Structure 1
Amino acid sequence: MKYWNIEGGISDCCLWDGVSCDTASGYVIAIDLSSSWLYGPLTSNSSLFRLSHLQKLNLAFNDFDTCTMPSEFGKLSRLTYLNLSSVFSGRIPYEISRLTNLMVLDLSAVADYYLYVREGQLGRVITQNMTNLRELYLDGTTISSPVPEIFGNLSSLTHLSLRRCCLSGELPKNIFQLPNLQYIDLYNNYLSGYLPEFNVSSRINYLSLAENTFHGKLPDSIGNLKALNFLDVRQSSFSGIVPHSLWNLSQLSKVDLSDNHFNGQLQYTIGNLAKLTVICPSFNNFSGGLPSSLGKLTQLKQLNLGYNNLSGQVPTSLLGNLTQLQFLVLDNNSLSGQIPSSFENLTQLVYLSLRHNRFSGPIPSSLGKLTQLKSLLLSSNLMDGELPISFPRSIEDIELQHNRLTGSIPSTSIANVTLLYHLDLSSNSFTGVIPSSLFELRLSYLRLDYNQFTGSLNISKLYNLDFFLQLETI
């Protein structure tokens, strides 16, 4: 083949890069030329299609001029592994269904490569004869039809990835009954209807159903997924109360329930998920208080409960053990009371957003001890009192607008925050002269309007300023 660079006059193809041969017969049995900068069309008369003993072929991420997929691939009947990801465009030929020994098939498409299956032909072309399939990846392939019932016959299937395939209709009832299925990704399709029941002995550890149009509740049988590590159902139109059984899945490390219509209270048993690192139930209708059991999630790095109907105070016990937490969002709820000083325990915190709540009292000076903090977003609350003497040196974004803060800006709180680029103190009751140290910062956004500052402004040193608004008398 012209794609190989034969160095030193080596004519034995078994010594070429990416080629493996059977030691006994000398036949070529495997070719891996993935990401090898190959270019030009792969034609039907290529010598590749004469390698009748070939078992593994990987041509992923090369440039064959977006040519169509040759039907001659169907001649390689001994293939058990075929990866043509991001290689071809056009229709997937029916002849590929002759590869009955395939265990792994990857025809995923990205960028300018768009494969498609004729409407309603997915089962006939891909799966009808491939009963040995263990892994199937068709991400980005245009299918434009429901998932065929015949998928339920692929009893050896462990991995199924059909991201962005324009799939529609309801999932077949047997899809989650496959005995060996471990990984299923159906992200960003047009799937609808109720979610089928899960196998009582399911091995699924990765489940992504995000960005679809399902309706109804998550089935109680989701509690059968004892091995589940990753769950993503964001933006999928689910509603109702999250099944209690979900909070007993002790292997979960990431859960994204955001942008659905879930309601009810967050269950205390959420504290059972000891391995949880990310949980995101934002943009739902959860109500009630924050369960103190969240404080048991000592591995948690991201917690996003924004845009719900949560109320009450933040339990002090919630913060004591979350020493790994980096990202905390509680904004757009009805949380009240003072911000606990125990926030100082969150030593790894990078992003803190408590916007649009009913928090009151002063900004805890203990926040100045959070040496990793980059964003402090406390706008639209009932905060009062004066600014803390100091902010963390790491801070980049401070938003305190629409509160009841008073007093002057301490020069010590501003002088050392040299990384600060976004500062909004508008709509408070600040007074006094703005410290000159503020104008030494590299701010790109500054709002001071709707306060009672006095004195003059010297913004000429703010070379990076993109937005400045000062409307009231200062």
Structure 2
Amino acid sequence: MALLSPSFIFSTFFYSILFSSSVFAGNNTQKGIQEHFSALLHLKHGFNFSEKASTNLSSWDLNDTDCCVWGGIGCDGDNSHVISIDLSNRRISGRIDFESLFRLQSLQSLNLASNYFNPSPFSPGFNQNLSSLRELSLDWINISMQGSEWVQALFLSVPHLRDLSLRYCGLSGPIHSSLSKLHFLKSKLDLSNNNLSGSLPSFLVNLSKLEYLDLSFNSFSGPIPSSYGNEFRNKLGGGLDVIHNASSSQLEYIYLGNNYLQGMVSFIFKLVKLSSISLPFNNFSGVVEVGSFQTLKSLFSLSFR
């Protein structure tokens, strides 16, 4: 009887392990996407929509189990997890099934802008954790909450956000200090066109990595805090030359139009990464030397009126 060589035994053992691992991984992948398939169908069930206006949702079909090809859905490289949902501007009404939404634990980007949800996205059901979420856009959704309510809901449920847009959401009151705990905010913070009020929060200066900050068309009042090195546009009295340490700012875009800002505008020349500046309809004064713009090497757009 011939003896099996050690190399043959090792090779057989190795490929057996490899095959078992592949089957196990495949089963896990299938299980993960099936879980997301079920969660998305439950999420859809709470929506009211027109088949014509919401073509994305129309493709969410029980008979098509590959949810990675559904409209508005993005999956990771091996199609094992849903990582993005974009249902913006689809004239969707109804409710958001939060229990189903929070089952999508791999979700990184969520865009539900320009729809008509009731109750709002930050209702009491928004109380679990989506720690993977990096981008959230809820523009033009009627949230109508005071600052302490929506800010704390964000901090508790989506603590790792990098990009947040809540334009035209009916937000009101001062911005709660919990917003400063969203340490990962980097790409964008857009809270423009709301009813936010009070003084401009000094704690926002702690979000030092922000590239885009928009607080325009609100009702903030008072001077810009002297601690600011990269802060922006509102109905603020007082000059902008109080800004310090601006050279360390990561900001690339400044839009300060349609406010009550006063004083000199020389602070912009310290924001060396700026590529676009818009300052119309304010009360700025003083003379700006054309040569000063040489410090802004990346500048391609400039508007004073």
TM-score normalised to structure 2 length? 0.67
Counterpart position of 2:181:
129
Give deviations 1:411-444, integer Å, cap 9, x for gaps: xxxxxxxxxxxxxxxxxxxxxxxxxxxxxxxxxx
**CA distance in 2: counterparts of 1:50 and 1:7, whole angstroms:** 19
**CA distance in 2: counterparts of 1:157 and 1:45, whole angstroms:** 29
What SS is found at the alignment partner of 1:95? Answer: helix
Tell me which amino acid in the other structure corresponds to 1:149. S
**CA distance in 2: counterparts of 1:81 and 1:53, whole angstroms:** 12
Q: Does 1:28 align with 2:75?
A: no
Counterpart position of 2:284:
238
- Mapping for residues 146-157 of structure 1, pairs under 5 Å: 146-157=199-210
**CA distance in 2: counterparts of 1:116 and 1:80, whole angstroms:** 21
Counterpart position of 1:105:
164
Choose which of 204, 209, 212 in structure 1 pairs with 2:256: 209
Identity %: 28
- Change in Cα spacing, 1:228 to 1:242, as seen in structure 2 (3 Å) is same
- Change in Cα spacing, 1:66 to 1:216, as seen in structure 2 (3 Å) is same
**CA distance in 2: counterparts of 1:100 and 1:158, whole angstroms:** 19
Contact 1:86 1:108 in 2 (8 A): yes
Contact 1:146 1:167 in 2 (8 A): yes
Counterpart position of 2:71:
17
Structure 1 runs not aligned, ≥5 long: 179-183, 259-474
**CA distance in 2: counterparts of 1:17 and 1:33, whole angstroms:** 9
Counterpart position of 2:220:
167
- Change in Cα spacing, 1:217 to 1:200, as seen in structure 2 (3 Å) is same
Choose 1 or 2 for highest CA Rg: 1
- Mapping for residues 364-379 of structure 1, pairs under 5 Å: none
Give deviations 1:48-99, integer Å, cap 9, x for gaps: 2332332211111223258463344442232111111112331153211122
Indicate the structure with greater helix content: 2
Tell me which amino acid in the other structure corresponds to 1:194. G
Tell me which amino acid in the other structure corresponds to 2:184. N
What SS is found at the alignment partner of 1:86? Answer: coil
What SS is found at the alignment partner of 2:203? Answer: helix
Counterpart position of 1:191:
236
Tell me which amino acid in the other structure corresponds to 1:146. S
**CA distance in 1: counterparts of 2:278 and 2:68, whole angstroms:** 45
What SS is found at the alignment partner of 1:14? Answer: helix
**CA distance in 2: counterparts of 1:205 and 1:53, whole angstroms:** 30
- Change in Cα spacing, 1:16 to 1:223, as seen in structure 2 (3 Å) is closer
- Mapping for residues 60-459 of structure 1, pairs under 5 Å: 60-64=113-117, 67=120, 69-75=122-128, 76-91=130-145, 93=150, 94-98=152-156, 99-109=158-168, 114-117=169-172, 119-124=173-178, 127-134=179-186, 135-175=188-228, 177-178=229-230, 186=233, 189-195=234-240, 196-197=242-243, 199-219=246-266, 221-243=267-289, 246-249=292-295, 251=297, 252-258=299-305
**CA distance in 2: counterparts of 1:160 and 1:44, whole angstroms:** 31
**CA distance in 2: counterparts of 1:129 and 1:204, whole angstroms:** 19
Contact 1:227 1:249 in 2 (8 A): no
Contact 2:98 2:126 in 1 (8 A): no
**CA distance in 2: counterparts of 1:191 and 1:166, whole angstroms:** 9
- Change in Cα spacing, 1:246 to 1:206, as seen in structure 2 (3 Å) is farther
**CA distance in 2: counterparts of 1:142 and 1:89, whole angstroms:** 12
Contact 1:80 1:103 in 2 (8 A): yes
TM-score normalised to structure 1 length? 0.45
Higher relative contact order (CA 8 A, sep 6+): 2
Counterpart position of 1:50:
103
Contact 2:256 2:279 in 1 (8 A): yes
Contact 1:49 1:72 in 2 (8 A): no
**CA distance in 1: counterparts of 2:272 and 2:136, whole angstroms:** 31
Structure 2 runs not aligned, ≥5 long: 1-43, 48-56
Q: CA deviation at 1:101?
A: 0.8
